[in-house]
């Protein structure tokens, strides 16, 4: 019970920010600007309000555990519940397309970062962290990789700051840029968002922004599948990085159970639940009627959206720009170029896939 009371203040604060953001989105878009649908999404307001409060209000330790819990576990619950939107066919279709796209992006980023460190003279440890954070799954990949390459705490903090800044920029800008670049093709946009943005939370936020701005949930669904496939590449990349870093010394210890993103399994289980439910309701009286099943799906969709929005508010609260200001500029140059390159490589590859008829 003590642990529950420890996390409640932070969760409550993030939920309150979400409610204020939702109200503000409607107020600005509908009441002030006169649109039927607000041009500024709830998610965007949630993150911005979270950043402002987190950086200008001294919250103290009372809220920290709940904020961390929201970013980690509420976010993962929201992603798991996203599976209710999809069928197994969707996962197989976009999962198979995303694998070669992800491999191309990973290889390009690693080559570019390895080249840049020879020019800008940053440590090999920093280069490994920036490369894996940019190409795989952001801060989670950085934290998981740091012990196996003996990275210093300052290097980890710096690499995470890179991912935070450029991931947030991509999160805000890419839904609009991709809509123009891919002429509204939601499959292509989803693949791009899922590979070009660093963090799982940032990808989810970007997909939600697109859904709320362009009234199309497909981007969120495709980008989520792509990002979860991308996350599983940790299983290959961390041992590979550990080998190259430690090949002339005793290899570092690492554990598959510590680096595997198990919420991916929960997401797949929810997809299976949706697929099975869709088929079982066709058999009269065996499961539940079509109307009730539709209500269950809508309820879980709504719960997913709330969880993700609360997690986005917590993400904003946990973004500390004061720490970022104290760091040097060279790794940020590397981080910026890496972020640009992964987006550019993703763009060119998806355009190539479209030319081959693989993405429609």
For residue 287, name the pLDDT band (cuts at 50, 70, 90).
Answer: low
Over 60: is that where the pLDDT of 251 sits? no
Share of the chain above pLDDT 70, in %: 88
Most confident of 93-102, 107-116, 155-164: 93-102
Q: Does residue 284 have a pLDDT over 80? A: no
pTM of the model: 0.78
Choose from 41-55, 67-81, 128-142 the range with maximum mean pLDDT. Answer: 67-81
pLDDT, mean of residues 139-168:
77
pLDDT value at residue 1: 47
Instruction: Categorise residue 60: left if φ over 0, alpha if ψ from -120 to 50, beta otherwise.
Output: left
Q: What is residue 121's predicted lDDT score, i.e. its pLDDT?
A: 74
Average pLDDT score over residue span 155-170: 80
Of the candidates 179, 183, 175, the residue with the CA atom closest to the CA atom of residue 202: 175
Q: What's the mean pLDDT in 45-68?
A: 87
Alpha-carbon span 138 to 125, nearest angstrom = 15
Q: Do 83 and 267 form a contact (C-beta atoms < 8 A)?
A: yes
Q: What is the SS3 assignment for the chain?
A: CHHHHHHHHHHHHHHHHHHHHHHHHHHHHHHHCCCCCCCCCHHHHHHHHHHHHHHHCCCCHHHHHHHHHHHHHHHHHHHHHHHHHCCHHHHHHHHHHHHHHHHHHHHHHHHHHHHHHHHHCCCHHHHHHHHHHHHHHCHHHHHHHHHHHCCCHHHHHHHHHHHHHHHHHHHHHHHHHHHHHCCCCHHHHHHHHHHHCCCHHHHHHHHHHHHHHHCCCHHHHHHHHHHHHHHHCHHHHHHHHHHHHHCCCCCCCCCHHHHCCCHHHHHHHHHHHHHHHHHHCCCCCCCCCHHHHHHHHHHHHHHHHHHHHHHHHHHHHCCCHHHHHCCCCHHHHHHHHHHHHHHHHHHHHHHHHHHHCCCC
Residue 257 in contact with residue 235, Cβ under 8 Å? no
Minimum mean pLDDT range among 166-180, 258-272, 284-298, 321-335? 321-335
Question: Mean per-residue pLDDT for 220-235?
Answer: 88
pLDDT confidence bin for 15, thresholds 50/70/90: very high
Query: Rounded mean pLDDT of 101-129?
Result: 84
**Picking from 103-112, 115-124, 298-307, 324-333, which range would have the lowest pLDDT averaged per residue?**
324-333
Q: Are 244 and 147 in contact (CB under 8 A)?
A: no
Check whether 113 has a pLDDT greater than 50: yes
User: Would you say residue 111 has pLDDT above 60?
Assistant: yes
Say what the pLDDT of residue 105 is.
Answer: 92
What does each C-alpha distance from 347 to 91, 131, 162, 177, 352 come to in angstroms? 21, 18, 21, 11, 9
The residue-averaged pLDDT of 223-229 equals 90
Average the pLDDT over 321-343 and give the result.
Answer: 77
For position 55, what pLDDT does the model report? 85
């Amino acid at each position: 019970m003590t642990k529950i009371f420890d996390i409640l203040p932070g969760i409550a604060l993030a939920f309150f920010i979400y409610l204020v953001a939702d109200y503000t989105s409607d107020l600005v878009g509908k009441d002030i600007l006169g649109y039927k649908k607000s041009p500024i999404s709830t998610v965007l307001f949630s993150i911005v309000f979270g950043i402002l409060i987190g950086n200008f209000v001294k919250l103290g330790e009372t809220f920290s555990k709940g904020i961390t819990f929201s970013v980690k576990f509420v976010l993962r619950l929201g992603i798991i519940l996203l599976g209710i939107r999809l069928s197994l066919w969707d996962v197989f279709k976009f999962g198979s397309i995303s694998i070669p796209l992800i491999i191309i992006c990973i290889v390009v980023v690693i080559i570019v970062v390895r080249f840049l460190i020879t020019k800008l003279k940053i440590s090999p440890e920093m280069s490994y962290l920036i490369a894996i954070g940019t190409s795989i799954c952001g801060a989670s990949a950085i934290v998981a990789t740091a012990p196996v390459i003996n990275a210093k705490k300052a290097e980890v903090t710096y690499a995470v700051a890179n991912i935070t800044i450029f991931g947030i920029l991509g999160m805000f800008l890419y839904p609009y840029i991709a809509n123009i670049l891919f002429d509204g093709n939601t499959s292509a946009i989803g693949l791009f968002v899922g590979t070009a943005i660093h963090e799982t939370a940032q990808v989810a936020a970007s997909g939600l922004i697109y859904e709320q701005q362009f009234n199309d949930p497909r981007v969120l669904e495709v980008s989520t599948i792509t990002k979860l496939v991308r996350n599983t590449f940790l299983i290959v990349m961390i041992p590979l990085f550990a080998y190259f870093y430690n090949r002339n010394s005793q290899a570092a210890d690492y554990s598959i159970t510590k680096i595997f993103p198990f919420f991916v399994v929960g997401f797949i289980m929810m997809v299976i639940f949706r697929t099975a439910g869709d088929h079982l309701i066709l058999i009269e009286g065996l499961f539940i009627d079509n109307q009730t099943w539709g209500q269950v799906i809508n309820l879980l969709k709504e719960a997913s959206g709330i969880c993700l929005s609360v997690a986005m508010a917590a993400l904003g609260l946990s973004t500390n720009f004061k720490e970022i200001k104290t760091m040097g500029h060279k790794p940020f140059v590397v981080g910026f170029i890496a972020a640009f390159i992964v987006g550019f490589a993703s763009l060119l590859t998806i355009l190539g896939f479209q030319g081959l008829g693989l993405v429609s």
